[in-house]
Amino acid sequence: MTIKVLIVDDQMMVREGFSVLLNAQSDIEVVGEAVDGREAVDQVAALRPDVVLMDIRMPVLNGLEATREIVAADADAKVLVLTTFDLDEYVYQALRAGASGFLLKDASARQLADGVRVVASGEALLAPSVTKRLIVEFSRLSEPPRVGDPASAGELTERETEVLVLIAQGLSNAEMADRLVVAESTVKTHVSRILVKLGLRDRTQAAVYAYETRLVVPS
């Protein structure tokens, strides 16, 4: 299946550059562009993209608020945030709001395409150490932490709690299956149940939740 992408950035050169790079991929198609968050929200409703490449600092409606509106509308689109520097509080807030990960604007063509594929497949873009570092840094500063223990508040089983910890550590389904000595399909089932029980959108929100509830303590 072809992955449909919407590019959102107020700089034309950025939009055009990403569009050229992504359209060169056989499995990715750029279906639209938007110059601000308000237009992005409208374009998501009209074009129904699989992935939205979302800039944060834009006029009219910034990327953080646009992400919140897209998630609140229960859109299927996965939001991949674009930023010029990694330890950005706005990016962290976007992850909390439902973004599936983020990329630096100076990412290579391969990193950009792979990032789109990762979030389109339903995985969290946690593999790059910088993304995990962002979550760790701002969850450490988050005061007060979220109330309640996730195992009791979400009625997670012991195994589901273990899987949640591994999600926060950035492991993929395959890596978790190897660690727990179970089938990958079993891990997928655990992840799905965790998201439903905790009322979370995806794995990135699960990782943020695990750090903010202190289930996982930043090293």
Q: Which domains does the chain have, with CATH numbers?
A: 3-122 (3.40.50.2300), 141-212 (1.10.10.10)
Cα separation, 64 vs 55, whole angstroms? 9
Cα separation, 218 vs 1, whole angstroms? 38
Cα separation, 68 vs 82, whole angstroms? 15
If we measure between CA atoms, which residue out of 167, 76, 183 comes closest to residue 123? 167
Burial label, 204 (beta-carbon count in 10 A; 0-12, 13-18, 19+):
buried
Residue 122 in tokens: 């339903």
Question: Given this model, what pLDDT does residue 125 score?
Answer: 59
Cα separation, 26 vs 11, whole angstroms? 25
Cα separation, 52 vs 67, whole angstroms? 9
Name 88's Cβ contacts closer than 8 Å, sequence gap at least 6. 56, 134
pLDDT (tens digit, 0 to 9) for every residue of the chain, 219 residues total?
899 999 999 999 889 989 999 999 999 999 999 999 999 999 999 999 999 999 988 888 888 899 989 988 867 888 998 887 766 678 788 888 888 888 888 888 888 898 899 888 876 655 555 566 777 777 666 654 454 444 445 588 889 999 998 988 878 888 899 999 999 999 999 999 998 888 887 888 888 888 888 787 766
Q: Please name the amino acid found at residue 62.
A: N
Helix residue spans in the chain (DSSP H):
12-23, 37-47, 63-72, 89-97, 109-120, 129-141, 150-153, 158-168, 173-180, 184-198, 203-212
